[in-house]
Amino acid sequence: MRMHYFILVAAAICLLPVSVRADEEYDKLKARLEEATRKFYANEDELAKKVGWTDRTIAPTSEQAQAMHQMRVMKEHPRFDFLADFYKYAQAHEGRAEAMEAWAMVLTMARCLGSSDGYLEMSEVTEAFRHLAQDYAADPGIKKAMQIIRRDAPCVRLESLESLYKAIESGNSDSEIIAEARLARGRMYQYSRRYRGMGRQARAFLAADEKTAYEIFASVAIQFPDTEAGQEAEALVYRKTHMQIGQKLPEFEGKDFAGNLIRLSQYRGKVVMVVFWASWCGPCMARIPEEREIATRFAGKPFQILGVNSDRTRDAFRKVMAKEALPWRNIFDGDPKTGPIVSALRIQAFPTVFLLDHEGVIRHEGLYGDRLKTAIEDLIQKAVKAAKAEDSDEPLHTPSSLPSQ
């Protein structure tokens, strides 16, 4: 018995350093990638300054993009240089949580090899999909792998990705993970042009994929209503059925900091740019100069910006309003998790910007720069034309007022 005990202890002592070394090896591998990525983006920032691309929330001009490309030392993201390292690590440490993550990283490092009907799959990518689907689909940690794939895998084959998500749905026992996998499968169809390659861009294909996406979202919302994925799916279905281009933005109301009531319907007859924003949102704050310019440019015309603020406290809202002195009206809606307007409209990203015509119909979403200004000008012209037509209408004659024959 005593000898058996010593054998177990000795075995544990022998195994422990190997485990630690594997962890340290993976941590060092990730650290090397992170450092290379940091240098890459620091260099991109420097190049952007040199070509005058100061507002990074707006796409560069073609001249700026071309100039940056010519000056680049690193022509592409450094993650492609790490494919072999992550692949070797995943092979050498099969069965470990780090190996599962490494296989997911392999998928993000694949180059986009296009064909006439989709992406060609590198052998390393095929093996990564096989291992994730066969060896890790039931693992509680597979959610981390899905997050990596969703965030950073731009050009994997739709068929392979679908097989992986289905394997997770059927092999895992955690309802949160099952719902997340199904939601990810719906997202895949929602953005299918990312996975089908340049040769499969037909409108009919994309329309069929979008229909499939929302059927999947509806099933997630119905079957998993208490999960985060179920709630996200319900929001996507709501936005699809109530807030698409060509539909009226649902009515909402709230109060500004002074307590004055503001209703969306008060702006009928005007083009309205509805901006959902918060001071904790960097891109929101970066857009304020452009919004200020737009407000000045279209002052005196049938146009209005209406902000819906999602700062978590009134004090934060008060401070940002005092600092920025925004000349357009803003509703304080509060914490984005509980704000009544944001919750009702299922707003999930900040900033979210809708451009409404004079009848309150959504005509554009997410525009910025020259495209936004051009769209506003076009809608203002239509609003002015509609107002003139309404003013020129003569009242209809009643039978009693008709001239005698």
Domain boundaries, the chain: 76-239, 253-389
User: Is domain 253-389 classified as CATH 3.30.365.10?
Assistant: no
The residue that leads in pLDDT, 2 or 204, is 204
What mean pLDDT is predicted for residues 116-143?
Answer: 91
What mean pLDDT is predicted for residues 129-148?
Answer: 95
Is the model's pLDDT at 15 over the cut of 50? no
* pLDDT bracket for residue 399 (50, 70, 90): very low
Is the model's pLDDT at 70 over the cut of 60? yes
Supply the pLDDT for residue 401. Answer: 39
Is the model's pLDDT at 197 over the cut of 90? no
What mean pLDDT is predicted for residues 289-294?
Answer: 95
Supply the pLDDT for residue 107. Answer: 93
How far apart, in whole angstroms, are the C-alpha atoms of residue 179 and residue 189?
16
* pLDDT bracket for residue 89 (50, 70, 90): very high
| pLDDT tens-digit readout, 335-366 | 999 999 999 999 989 999 999 999 999 999 99
- Report yes or no: 68 and 60 within 8 Å, Cβ to Cβ: yes
| pLDDT tens-digit readout, 49-65 | 998 988 776 778 888 88
14-to-3, 24, 209, 336 alpha-carbon distances in Å: 16, 17, 53, 51
φ, ψ at 326 (rounded to 5°):
-65, 130
User: In b/e form, how buried is each residue of 239-253, taking b as 16+ CB within 10 angstroms?
Assistant: bbeebeeeeebeebe
Supply the pLDDT for residue 117. Answer: 67
Supply the pLDDT for residue 321. Answer: 93
Residues 131-134: contacts with CB within 8 Å, 24+ apart?
131/90, 131/94, 131/99, 131/100, 131/103, 132/100, 132/103, 132/104, 132/164, 132/167, 133/163, 133/164, 133/167, 133/168, 134/167
User: To the nearest whole percent, how much of the chain has pLDDT over 70?
Assistant: 89
What mean pLDDT is predicted for residues 133-141?
Answer: 95
Supply the pLDDT for residue 402. Answer: 39
The residue that leads in pLDDT, 343 or 121, is 343
In the chain, how long is the greatest CA-to-CA distance? 125
Is the model's pLDDT at 110 over the cut of 60? yes
Amino acid identity for residue 167 in this structure:
A
Determine the angle formed by the axes of helices 142-152 and 158-171, rounding to 10 degrees: 160
Residue whose structure tokens are 């007859």:
269
What DSSP state is assigned to residue 361?
Answer: B
- Mean pLDDT taken over the chain: 88
What is the sign of the dihedral through the CA atoms of 376, 381, 384 and 387?
Answer: negative
Geometric angle at alpha carbon 76, from 75 and 82, rounded to 5°: 130
Could you give the 3-state DSSP secondary structure of residue 257?
coil
| pLDDT tens-digit readout, 210-236 | 999 999 999 999 999 999 999 999 999
Determine the straight-line distance between the first and last CA of the chain, rounded to whole angstroms: 124
How far apart, in whole angstroms, are the C-alpha atoms of residue 316 and residue 318?
5
What mean pLDDT is predicted for residues 288-313?
Answer: 96
User: In b/e form, how buried is each residue of 370-399, taking b as 16+ CB within 10 angstroms?
Assistant: eebbebbeebbebbeeeeeeeeeeeeeeee
Is the model's pLDDT at 2 over the cut of 60? no
- Report yes or no: 311 and 276 within 8 Å, Cβ to Cβ: no
Is the model's pLDDT at 183 over the cut of 50? yes
